[in-house]
Structure 1
Amino acid sequence: MTGPRRTSGHLPVLYVIACGSPLARHVGRLVELAQEDGWDVCVVTTPDGAKFVDRAAVARQTGHPVRTHYKNPGDLDVLPPADAMIVCPATVNTVNKWAAGITDTLALGLLVEGQGLGVPLVAVPYTNTAMARHPAFRAGLARLAEWGVTVLFGDDVVPLHPPGTGERHQHEFPWGLPLAAVRDRHYRAAA
């Protein structure tokens, strides 16, 4: 299988949601791979994710503005509707709030709504060993997986790192992995 399926002559739309992690600085790599795979990519960040993403560069790369906040009442939607979403990097904060149904950021609102609409969702947490041990985080991951979200987590996906060393391990991140997972989910949803 290569690339997602076109719908109505248009490229399928992939939302890449980047959370507040130094790994978010490299989200353009995921965008590049997804575009090569045939997706129209839109990037949404959490407020903390916006601190790491070069919004102007990503907007040039995608042709869409990078969204972080809910639009004002009456404003038009500037992004096309998503056919699939990847949350990468997903922080402990976002996983915990998402699993609790909290929608206090645009990113979380899109995830909760996307889940309700049956949009294929892939989450790739990037965190350290200490934060990954928290019971709420582990329960949140399990809950999201139980609800049909593809969760890519564990040492077989991205080895956990000691606190304060995440930036040293970014070069090991397998950007193609979430893309392969979302492609598989998109094919199954379209079948």
Structure 2
Amino acid sequence: MSTTRPVLYLFGSAAPPVLNMAQVVRHAQFRGWEVALGLTPTAASWLQDELPKLNRLTGHPVKSTYRRPGEPDVLPPADAVLFAPATMNSINSLALGLTTSWVIGFAAEAIGKGIPLSVMPCTNTALTGHPQFPRSVATLRDSGVRVLLGEGGFVSNDPGQGRPEAYPWEAALGAAEESIGR
């Protein structure tokens, strides 16, 4: 699917809002994006039954693993990356440069390549209270990553009190648009 629309790499990790990814892809497309979807391996397993539908919806294979040496890159170049929902594990891995999954690896390269990267967490207050989490958020922000945490983005809830339907996707997509001057 080759278009003149800007390409959004939409990444998700295993947090309940990822279960609405088809709806989010459609909304991003409605807003003018060509969407390429990447999932952490656990998120891909959660959406396993939906992957064929998501492949058709985006016109691209959903990526969750690294390609083998010599295999062609099947996705168009990214204009922006939106990593939402991003778990504590994904945020800490990205901040520390631990690229054990394709999604984290690409996001880490995006920082180095200057591809606009927005990250919106999906964590509870017990996880955001861990001492590494604010350090990771600060590291990402110091690296030019827009982290949508707090007012105007994701506000953590108490454990067991999450409402996936209230995840602020609109703010996340708006941040991606702002990152390329739309």
Normalising by structure 2, report the TM-score: 0.92
1:15-164 equivalent positions in 2, closer than 5 A: 15-53=9-47, 54-154=50-150, 156-164=152-160
Q: Aligned-pair RMSD on alpha carbons?
A: 1.6
Q: Does structure 1 retain, via aligned residues, the 8 Å contact 2:8–2:81?
A: yes
Alpha-carbon distance in structure 1 between the residues aligned to 2:37 and 2:167: 19
Number of residues paired by the alignment? 179
Report Cα offsets for 1:90-126 as digits up to 9, x if no partner.
Answer: 0000100110111111001101111111001000000
Report Cα offsets for 1:24-68 as digits up to 9, x if no partner.
Answer: 111222211211111110000011111223212211211111010
The farther-off stretch of 47-56 and 82-91 is 47-56
Report the 3-state secondary structure (helix = DSSP H, G, I; strand = E; otherwise coil) of the residue aligned with 2:36. strand
Report Cα offsets for 1:118-147 as digits up to 9, x if no partner.
Answer: 001000000111011111111101110111
Displacement, 1:159?
A: 3.0
> How high is the sequence identity, in percent, across the aligned residues?
39
- Runs of 5+ in structure 2 lacking a partner? none
The farther-off stretch of 9-18 and 110-119 is 9-18
Normalising by structure 1, report the TM-score: 0.88
Amino acid at match of 2:37: V
Q: Does structure 2 retain, via aligned residues, the 8 Å contact 1:22–1:52?
A: no
